[in-house]
């Protein structure tokens, strides 16, 4: 059996050991703003709950849709919910609690968002960083109450641009994030490289994980950083750090 596992993982790639800090307690999902997060951490510590980190999905803001509260897919800190995001990360790290955030490969037009400081969808669309539809316009994918464009991972310029945005969070002290989605590249998509999207559909989640791995390697935090993937293909174990076993689209 060990020989079979060894041979199999030569093909798939082998997952690296998790950062040591992830084994020091729970990683708890929290949301709702600075005051809510700090109060929850106080409560957990008062209860002597070993706490390794907090996963704050709504760092970029919340929006109301027909399906309820959803995250703004605009990877810029929300100054209303987290007025001193970097300060919160630092103060929690001083208490031995790491902060994890959230990213996915979509961008939604945030022009209607309150307290908007930067609209990444507009930037990406202007530069041609989003997957196109057969007519050459931005391909908008419905995501439960709103539409979003998908970053084109076959474009080296796109990869550099989104990496810089992600590295910005690492520079603030974020120790991990969920690298969500990646499974939804439409077959009708037109890609920058010219590759057939039907061929690239199953490669996209691997490339999304590989991009995240490159981000932490280039930032010099590879072995101390935890990103976890939702989607994958056969070779994703060699790129991602951990898998989220939930939400997968099976249709």
CA atoms of 69 and 145, how far apart (whole Å): 10
Is the Cα torsion angle 106, 111, 116, 118 positive or negative in sign? positive
**Residue 247 annotated in active site:** yes
- Per the annotation, the verdict on 183 as an active-site residue is yes
Residue 176's SS3 state is: strand
Residue of 78, 109, 180, 207 marked active site: 180
Hey, CA dihedral for 57, 80, 168, 54, is it positive or negative? negative
Distances from the Cα of 161 to the Cαs of 76, 147, 179, in angstroms?
14, 21, 16
- CB 225 within 8 Å of CB 22: no
Cα(14)–Cα(32) distance, integer angstroms = 36
Question: Is 207 one of the annotated active-site residues of the chain?
Answer: no
Q: Which of 42, 114, 123, 247 is catalytic?
A: 247
Please pick, among 84, 183, 199, 207, the residue that the annotation labels catalytic. 183
Rounded to the nearest 10°, the torsion over CA 193, 194, 200, 206 is 0
**Which residues belong to the active site?**
180, 183, 247
């Amino acid at each position: 059996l060990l020989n079979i596992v060894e041979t199999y993982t030569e093909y798939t790639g082998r997952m690296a050991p998790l950062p040591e800090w992830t084994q020091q307690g729970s990683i708890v999902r929290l949301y709702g703003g600075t005051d809510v997060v700090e109060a929850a951490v106080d409560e957990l510590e008062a209860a002597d709950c070993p706490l390794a980190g907090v996963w704050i999905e709504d760092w970029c803001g919340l929006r109301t849709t027909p399906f309820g509260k959803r995250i703004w897919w605009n990877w810029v800190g929300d100054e209303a919910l987290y007025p001193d995001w970097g300060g919160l990360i630092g103060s929690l790290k001083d208490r031995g609690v790491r902060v994890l955030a959230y990213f996915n490969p979509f961008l939604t037009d945030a022009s209607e968002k309150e307290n908007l400081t930067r609209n990444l969808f507009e930037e990406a669309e202007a530069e041609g960083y989003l997957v196109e539809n057969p007519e050459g316009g931005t391909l908008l994918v419905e995501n439960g109450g709103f539409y979003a464009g998908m970053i084109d991972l076959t474009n080296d310029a796109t990869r550099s641009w989104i990496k810089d945005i992600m590295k910005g969070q690492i520079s603030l002290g974020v120790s991990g994030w969920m690298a969500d989605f990646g499974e939804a590249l439409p077959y009708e998509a037109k890609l920058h490289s010219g590759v057939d999207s039907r061929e690239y559909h199953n490669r996209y989640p691997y490339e999304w994980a590989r991009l995240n791995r490159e981000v932490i390697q280039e930032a010099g935090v590879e072995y101390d950083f935890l990103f976890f993937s939702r989607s994958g293909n056969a070779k994703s174990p060699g790129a991602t750090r951990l898998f989220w076993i939930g939400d997968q689209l099976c249709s």
